[in-house]
């Protein structure tokens, strides 16, 4: 439910969010492309010219001026206690009024049903039931980012929803003036995400997350409103056959296809909101509804320009067309928390992309490498390398220039080389394993030019945390045969490589696949590095976690990392 009903109100109320000039462009158009003449921000509904708003502060009743006609309905008493003071806005389902609760002497917002008189009685009843459902949905939620519902007043069979009056305006109204910075957008995203987490935990899907339903209040408060079309788990769908509810440019692809929505559908909408908040452009908006829905299904938005780093990673992951491959709320929260940090802070946050192709490495992949089974399908991943120091080549070691991974790798003598079978494997990797198969070194390259699904994260550290998160998952059905195995643990740190950003994972786990009767402790050290062109490298050294070979494995890892040489940085 929305205090604004989709229209700006209280625009003279201060908020804690700074705005930047709107970013020019049209949805799906690459930055720098020629813009239509005479249109400052074509295709951007938030930057369109609009008349200035002169709404009075919402905490006081404006004096009636003789030159300003009184809105019809102003002064009406609802349910014997709520005095209507003026309209705040309206939307597809109703008009929102500012009112005074004369019983407790406080101002509230009231949503009046808005149903055309010509509708059949069945459809009118559906609309009223949807509003009652809105009240039930919001009243069940206890979260600071969800608007409080005080009462439902029934007048002539119609439900008037009485709710908290939020001082401020909608994000949609704010975007008329400009875009948000990365930190501000991430902070708003965190609050909206918190509201969605609370709703999903209660079995409620919002189904209409958009800028007009995000209210920005004073002191940095953010409120998600308009649960009027929310779907409560176990209740009958009110939508007529073949129809849908929600805003087309923010609706998830699976809902366009008529599939059953889930929490991932709301998270998709959050991704679109974050995109619009930072870019000033709605990525899927077109000139008509069918074209908009087609773009939701088929169009790939241009990469976010204003949003970089972890926020861009979150947006790109959330806009995956496949709901199974979108990150969950906890993973999105970690990345938004990093994006919201002040620049001087160095806390790193992780995000995984569940269900992605073999770019992500699960527990079986880690354990397969530990056993020295260098098979591309077990490990196919983008690999990166960090080099915080360049060390001397140990005695007897040899360097090998590997053209397929565009790098030179240093390895101990007598290590056995392995490469993919080009007839069946088009990935880029090379491995060297000691004759006893106790220690293995693998260098993997994931090329940006081949990343059609945009699965390479924005930074090496993001990739490191993604791998750590995927490896530590124990609830994935693909790992059900390992449910009793100790969960692998990863220690992720940030470092540098030739003045570039890099990262490292040190992983401890148990290999119970090679010999289930004798599980073996293992350790792996992995360095990540992303080139300026967007290619990602990973150097992986795997060795026993206990015993005589442990220190030897750590020495091999240190020397291999120190002596890695990438052809083009």
Reply yes or no on whether 208 is catalytic.
yes
Helix or strand run (H / E) with residue 521: strand 520-530
d(CA 340, CA 342): 7
Q: Which of 191, 208, 212, 434 is catalytic?
A: 208
Tokens found for residue 43:
């295709």
Going 20 to 24 to 27 to 28, the CA torsion angle's sign is negative
Contact 507, 515 (CB under 8 A): no
Long-range contacts of 83-86 (CB under 8 A, 24+ apart): 84/110, 85/61, 86/61, 86/62
* C-alpha distances in Å from residue 50, one per residue of 10, 150, 176, 177, 197: 16, 33, 8, 10, 34
| SS3 annotation, 98-113 | EEEECCCCEEEEEEEE
Which residues participate in the annotated binding site for ATP?
Answer: 111
| Alpha-carbon torsion angle 452, 458, 462, 464, nearest 10 | 60
Q: Give Dmax over CA atoms of the chain in angstroms.
A: 95
d(CA 495, CA 491): 13
Which residues participate in the annotated binding site?
Answer: 111
3-state SS, residue 264: helix
3-state SS, residue 488: coil
List, as one string, the DSSP characters of 120-174: -HHHHHHHHHHHHHHHHHHHT---TTBPPEEEEEEETTEEEEEEE---SEEHHHH
**Residue 393 CB neighbours (<10 A):** 12
3-state SS, residue 346: coil
d(CA 192, CA 212): 13
Contact 167, 59 (CB under 8 A): yes
* C-alpha distances in Å from residue 538, one per residue of 309, 366, 526, 560: 19, 13, 7, 12
d(CA 43, CA 58): 32
Tokens found for residue 32:
């720098």
Least Cα distance to 153 among 45, 79, 90 occurs for 79
DSSP 20: B
* C-alpha distances in Å from residue 274, one per residue of 55, 181, 186, 200: 27, 10, 8, 20
**Residue 426 CB neighbours (<10 A):** 11
* C-alpha distances in Å from residue 457, one per residue of 168, 385, 446: 35, 15, 11
- Residue owning tokens 């970690």: 334
Helices 460-472 + 309-318 axis angle, to 10: 50
Active site residues: 208
């Amino acid at each position: 439910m929305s205090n604004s009903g989709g229209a700006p109100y209280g625009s003279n109320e201060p908020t804690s969010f700074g705005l930047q000039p709107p970013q020019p462009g049209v949805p799906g158009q690459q930055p720098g492309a020629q813009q239509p003449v005479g249109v400052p921000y074509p295709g951007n509904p938030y930057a369109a010219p609009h008349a200035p708003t002169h709404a009075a502060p919402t905490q006081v009743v404006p004096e009636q001026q003789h030159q300003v006609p009184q809105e019809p309905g102003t002064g009406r008493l609802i349910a014997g206690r709520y005095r209507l003071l003026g309209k705040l806005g309206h939307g597809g389902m109703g008009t929102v009024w500012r009112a005074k609760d004369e019983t407790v002497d406080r101002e509230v917002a009231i949503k009046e049903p808005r149903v055309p008189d010509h509708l059949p009685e069945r459809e009118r009843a559906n609309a009223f039931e949807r509003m009652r459902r809105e009240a039930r949905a919001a009243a069940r939620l206890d979260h600071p980012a969800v608007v409080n519902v005080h009462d439902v007043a029934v007048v002539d069979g119609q439900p008037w929803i009485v709710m908290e009056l939020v001082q401020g305006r909608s994000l949609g109204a704010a975007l008329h003036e400009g875009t948000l910075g990365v930190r501000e957008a991430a902070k708003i995203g965190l609050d909206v995400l918190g509201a969605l987490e609370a709703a999903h935990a209660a079995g409620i899907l919002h189904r209409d997350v958009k800028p007009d339903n995000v209210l920005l209040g004073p002191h940095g408060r953010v409120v998600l409103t308009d649960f009027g079309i929310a779907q409560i788990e176990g209740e009958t769908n009110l939508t007529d056959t073949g129809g849908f509810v929600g805003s087309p440019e923010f609706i998830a692809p699976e809902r366009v296809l008529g599939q059953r929505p889930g929490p991932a559908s709301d998270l998709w909408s959050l991704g679109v909101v974050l995109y619009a908040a930072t870019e000033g452009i709605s990525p899927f908006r077109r000139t008509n509804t069918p074209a908009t829905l087609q773009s939701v299904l088929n169009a790939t938005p241009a990469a976010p320009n204003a949003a970089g780093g972890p926020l861009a990673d979150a947006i790109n992951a959330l806009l995956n067309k496949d709901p199974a491959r979108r990150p969950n709320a906890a993973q999105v929260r970690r990345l938004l928390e990093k994006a919201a940090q002040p620049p001087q802070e160095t806390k790193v946050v992780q995000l995984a992309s569940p269900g992605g192709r073999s770019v992500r490495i699960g527990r079986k992949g880690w354990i397969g490498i530990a056993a020295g089974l260098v098979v591309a399908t077990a490990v196919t991943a983008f690999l990166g390398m960090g080099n915080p120091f360049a060390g001397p080549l140990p005695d007897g070691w040899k360097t090998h220039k590997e053209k397929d991974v565009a790098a030179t790798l240093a390895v101990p003598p007598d290590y056995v080389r392995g490469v993919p079978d080009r007839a069946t494997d088009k990935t880029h990797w090379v491995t060297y394993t000691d004759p006893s198969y106790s220690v293995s070194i693998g260098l993997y390259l994931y090329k940006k030019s081949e990343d059609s699904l945009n699965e390479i994260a924005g930074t090496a550290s993001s990739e490191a945390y993604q791998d750590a998160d995927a490896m530590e998952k124990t609830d994935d059905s693909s790992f059900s045969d390992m449910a009793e195995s100790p969960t692998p643990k990863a220690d992720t740190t940030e470092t540098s490589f030739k003045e570039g950003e890099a990262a490292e994972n040190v992983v401890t786990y148990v290999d119970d696949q090679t010999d289930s009767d004798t599980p073996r402790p293992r350790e792996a050290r992995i360095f990540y590095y992303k080139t300026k062109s967007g290619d990602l490298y990973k150097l992986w050294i795997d060795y026993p976690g206990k015993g005589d070979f442990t220190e030897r494995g750590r020495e091999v890892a240190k020397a291999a990392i120190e002596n890695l040489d990438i052809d083009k940085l």
